[in-house]
Amino acid sequence: MGRTWIKIYPDKTLNGFSSLEEKGCWYTLLELCGIGVFHNDGEIAAIKNMGFMDAQLADLMRTDLKTWLKYKITFIERKMISVKPDNTIKITNWRRYQSEYSRQKPFRDLKEVNNIIKELYKETIDYRLEIIESKVTPLVTDKVTRNYVIIFLYWNHSKVKPHLKLTPEMCKGAESALKLHELKDVIQAICNYGKVVNSDCYRWNYRWTLQEFLGRKVDNVERFKDWEVVHNNYLDKKKRDDYTLGRGKFD
């Protein structure tokens, strides 16, 4: 499904065209990209690897073929678009200028996402990352949102401080963490943190919320992602002599 809106930058477009006709052709391209199925990639195409014929685009723009071809060449020369051999048109810097829509999408869809999470909890889940991904992928098509759901599922599974629903604040924390770390490292940090706070063998017992864990100025993913470092840093000194890493009842 395409977008319901796109962003326009008047400081760049008000005086950036030679005529109303040229501006109309450009805005139509943006609109076609926005409502198209390949909008995330900034591409205009009828189907994958098959763009529209120029005559079709001229009809969509309510202009004649000669006029469209004239402005098409202009847009290419200005590097506003590029055209693939299959006639797919790619809007230059689409993601840069339209990124806010993509960034906000997971927050707008949270009601639907939380309904999906409820359904997932009705079945027994194998908490191996590849299994979780295979469960969530068919239900949440947007990859960014999918990663937020996976992080949320692992957080609740760690039994640190379970939450009833995924919130915009948690999504923002996850977004920040995923800019610095791979998903598997975020998951590992959450699992290691859960092992520490759920055991009486470690000095750390404060239970953050997911939002706090991901949103603090200290990089908690970096702090907790390596189990050997975590174990050595937080194991209770009184029990250190009785513990062999990877063995024994404290593992």
| CATH class given for the domain over 10-98 | mainly alpha
Report the distance separating Cα 39 and Cα 184, nearest Å: 28
Beta sheet of 89-91, edge-to-edge order: 43-44, 89-91, 81-83
Which tens digits make up the pLDDT trace of 60-100?
999 999 999 999 999 999 999 999 999 999 999 887 777 65
| Eight-state DSSP code of residue 76 | H
How confident is the model at residue 203, as a pLDDT?
83
Which tens digits make up the pLDDT trace of 98-156?
765 555 555 556 778 888 888 888 888 888 888 888 888 888 878 888 899 999 999 99
- Residue 156's closest CA among 108, 120, 205? 120
**Domain limits of the chain?**
10-98, 109-240
Residue 109 vs residue 166, higher pLDDT: 166
How confident is the model at residue 251, as a pLDDT?
47
- Residue 58's closest CA among 31, 16, 25? 25
Report the distance separating Cα 153 and Cα 120, nearest Å: 9
- Please list the alpha-helical segments (H only) found in the chain: 10-13, 20-35, 54-60, 65-77, 94-108, 110-120, 129-136, 143-158, 168-180, 183-197, 210-215, 220-224, 227-234, 237-240
pTM of the model: 0.56
Q: What's the token pair of residue 190?
A: 């959450």
pLDDT at 192 over 60: yes
Mean pLDDT of the chain: 85
